[in-house]
Structure 1
Amino acid sequence: MSLTRRHAAASLGSLPLALAAPGAATAATARRRTTVHLAGDSTAATKQPTAAPETGWGMALPFFLADDRFTVANHAVNGRSSKSFYDEGRLAPILAALRPGDLLLVQFGHNDEKIEDPARGTDPQTTYPQYLRLYLDGARERGAHPVLLTSVERRKFDAAGTAQPTHGAYPDAVRRLARAERVPLLDIQASSIALWQRLGPEVTQDYFNWLEPGESPNYPAGLQDNTHFQPHGAIEVARLVARELAARRVLRPRDLRRLDAAIPDSWITW
């Protein structure tokens, strides 16, 4: 869970004394928490300090969930597809940790699109949904609730300043699978491209990992990354995810918080 110490302390301070005190009450409160597991790629993953300010949206998701009800377990890993994540054995420990009532959010696609790489590439009509079904079936077998996400959109604009889709047939494959399997769909591709369109080409540079030379010691030559986020972008994508969780009735209003609040970038740590 990517909460900072400051955020965690504030959260504990807001609890009633009976719950914040050590002992049976605290243990009972912890047992009532639902774990939100996240399987995905670098757009969601927790980053190391050497990558800062690159930030995965999974690092910001806890800010929008009631922390007396939920814990976030971010299993997303840089560079993985639905196939390579599974083939490397990364799904197995998630399934082992799932408890009845937990959530499993599944967002792959960026690296599934790399069809030139046999370790990662999948076909949107065949192998992509086949691999995604392994996540859905595994969660349901354990009494947990799988949730499919379309891939967050990259930053790409045409000469007229219109945000362009970049994921080809993969988002539609997720949408079809969600309908066929009757699982909730968070259409983050649609909501994120709409957000980038509202913000426009210049403002979105501050959301993605665009850096001037010398701006960050980790990227002394600067960077123009249209896939990964700076803290502000990760926070806003996590906000989209939280809103979709509410809109699809995966979570109730009391399960969420801060949906319209400003979250300081400084609350993100690596």
Structure 2
Amino acid sequence: MIAKPTRRAVAALLLALPLAQTHAQEFTATTDPARAQVTLPEPARPDLPSLILIGDSTVRNGRDDGQGKGPEGQWGWGNPIATYFDLTKINVVNRAVGGLSSRTYRTSGHWGRTKPFIKKGDWVVMQFGHNDASPVNDNSRARGVLRGTGPEKEEITNLLTGKPETVYTYGGYLRGYIAEIRAAGATPVICSPIIRKRWEADGVKVTRAGGNFAAWAAEVARQEKVAFIDLNEWGAQRYEALGKAEVEKLFPADTPQETVHTNWLGAAVNAQLVIAGLIQNKVLPDNVYLRRFAPDGSDDRPVVDARKVKVEAPRDPKLPSLVMIGDSTVRSGGQGGAYGWGERIGALFDTQRINIVNDAIGGRSSRTFFTEGRWASVLDQLKAGDTLLIQFGHNDGARIGDPAGKNRGSVPGIGPETIEDTRPDGTKEMVQSFGWYLARYINDAKAKGANVVVLSPIPHKDRWQANVPRDFENYAAWGEQVARANGAQFIDLTMRVTEAYRSIGAEKVASFFADARTHTNDTGAVFNATQVVEGLKRLPGSPLQAFLKPAAP
């Protein structure tokens, strides 16, 4: 039977990403932002190059604290974007101010206070436009600009300040920033304003900004030969791919009428688009990114072709083998300093008596490990007396039908439901449930006489603390149910590692990771491998106890 696909949240990991830490950001006045003296962050390490952000509330909202409402408050994309960078190599300095336009960011003095932090080799990303369409002259904000990109200007007596002022076009203000950024030896980048949550009558298409600020931002970037990031168009495409119901989850639930200001999840989506634009324009060096994105929200690195990754063979076919299948948290191969626990578990076994065979491959889900033929190759080598360890789940939550998912998502649950997916070549695939794929692995292996242990996924860097919900709750439950029903054993590795993390504390755990939240470094891999072995020891019958090295005295 073909089940109707459900709309799932963009990526569960986005909700769990840590909030970027910045210096104190307090208002000393609560009047018009153009006149308020706002304490903005400064480069944490002046010796490093800086990515400096300027703009309005869609980049940095209020005091950058979600109005005290946590992730469900209003956030600008300048906050979550810091979580995607290696802050030991680059400063991310969000000096945007809510309520300002390209004009008032300058006339308020905020630009003058930002310029001293811009040095040779830095990058400055600007995103204005949401407030630029306001009145040019009133006694409320007086923040509007002249429309267009030309040399037009208007002399006014500002009703708010009582002072004479020359007002320029939107393009004129952008050109002013570009010139001064370049004069400082830094590189300017222009973003169009983020897309608004406005749907066409069909409820499927998103209304673009049209021929105004988004188009004018693109025009200035083209004329000035500046990198341009089209948050308007790319954002519309992301919203359309997600659908109306999912997009609602990107905005504060207590203000359903809000169309501009996102919650933290929505801010993270926009931050990913900015990352994609920086990568596409080759603005920053590759080594500063912890995570990379394409405009559709997927990791911009292609998933390695499984056919080019040789299946590992047992060292001595006469010996029993411990065989592992899974994703990059089991085997990362040192890419970006990351290692999976499966790459360090061999040190805990007597390899003169048992083969350690790690056939996990990065980027795989329970679905793609099967459909790409990797499982068939592993199965060919399994024999009676071997033990198979299975750990999937990190990539199974990808949304079926969303290109960002790279055809990796499995149907949630353990039932017979299927969903049709379209591959990049246009062919159709009937996607099975997570439980279906696990059951297939278990029963195929048992038919060869192997013992099978299912493990739930290792937890993320930010999902083991006592004050947050447990990680991978569904996948752990599904894994245990399928294991029990099909004669396999089960280890809740998520909670075993979680409890071990809690026993050593946050500072130590932070040192275990090679990226923002998923992949462990060598030390972390050794630690998690130890937890896997402890889990194996506690299984009924301790099936691998005889092959373990004696514990150190």
Which category describes the TM-score, using the shorter chain as reference length?
0.7 to 0.9
Q: SS state of the match for residue 132, structure 1?
A: helix
Q: Deviation digits for residues 214-234 of structure 1, max 9, x if unmatched?
A: xxxxxxxx5431100111111
Determine if the alignment matches structure 1 residue 50 to structure 2 residue 70. no
Match of 1:34 in 2: 49
Determine if the alignment matches structure 1 residue 245 to structure 2 residue 302. no
Is there any run of 5+ residues in structure 2 with no aligned partner, and where? Answer: 1-18, 23-43, 151-168, 293-298, 300-393, 396-459, 469-515, 517-553
Q: 2:131 aligns with which of 108, 111, 131?
A: 111
Contact 2:118 2:184 in 1 (8 A): yes
Is there any run of 5+ residues in structure 1 with no aligned partner, and where? Answer: 6-28, 212-221
1:139-158 correspondence to structure 2 within 5 Å: 139-158=181-200
Q: Deviation digits for residues 171-193 of structure 1, max 9, x if unmatched?
A: 11111111111111111111111
Q: CA deviation at 1:31?
A: 5.2
Q: CA deviation at 1:167?
A: 5.7
Q: CA deviation at 1:166?
A: 3.3
Q: Deviation digits for residues 227-252 of structure 1, max 9, x if unmatched?
A: 00111111111011011101100023
CA distance in 1, matches of 2:149, 2:68: 34
CA distance in 1, matches of 2:253, 2:185: 42
Contact 2:76 2:267 in 1 (8 A): yes
CA distance in 1, matches of 2:263, 2:132: 23
Q: Deviation digits for residues 116-154 of structure 1, max 9, x if unmatched?
A: 655211212331011111111111111011111111101
Contact 1:110 1:167 in 2 (8 A): no
Q: Which moved more, 1:123-132 or 1:79-88?
A: 123-132
Q: Which moved more, 1:156-165 or 1:113-122?
A: 113-122
Match of 1:131 in 2: 173
Match of 2:231 in 1: 188
Contact 1:210 1:224 in 2 (8 A): no
CA distance in 2, matches of 1:152, 1:206: 17
Structure of larger gyration radius: 2
Cα–Cα, structure 1 residues 246 and 188, in superposed 2: closer, same or farther, change >3 Å?
same
Cα–Cα, structure 1 residues 167 and 75, in superposed 2: closer, same or farther, change >3 Å?
farther
Q: Deviation digits for residues 194-213 of structure 1, max 9, x if unmatched?
A: 111111221111112232xx
Q: Looking at secondary structure, tell me which structure has more helix per residue.
A: 1
Q: SS state of the match for residue 253, structure 2?
A: strand
Cα–Cα, structure 1 residues 204 and 133, in superposed 2: closer, same or farther, change >3 Å?
same
Asked which structure has the greater RCO (Cα within 8 Å, sep 6+), the reply is 1
Q: Which amino acid aligns with 1:198?
A: A
CA distance in 2, matches of 1:44, 1:143: 24
Match of 2:112 in 1: 92
Q: Which amino acid aligns with 1:124?
A: G
Q: CA deviation at 1:70?
A: 1.1
Contact 2:67 2:74 in 1 (8 A): no
CA distance in 1, matches of 2:231, 2:207: 14
Q: CA deviation at 1:94?
A: 1.4
Match of 2:20 in 1: 3
CA distance in 2, matches of 1:195, 1:108: 21
Q: Which amino acid aligns with 1:209?
A: P
Q: SS state of the match for residue 195, structure 1?
A: helix
Determine if the alignment matches structure 1 residue 120 to structure 2 residue 143. yes
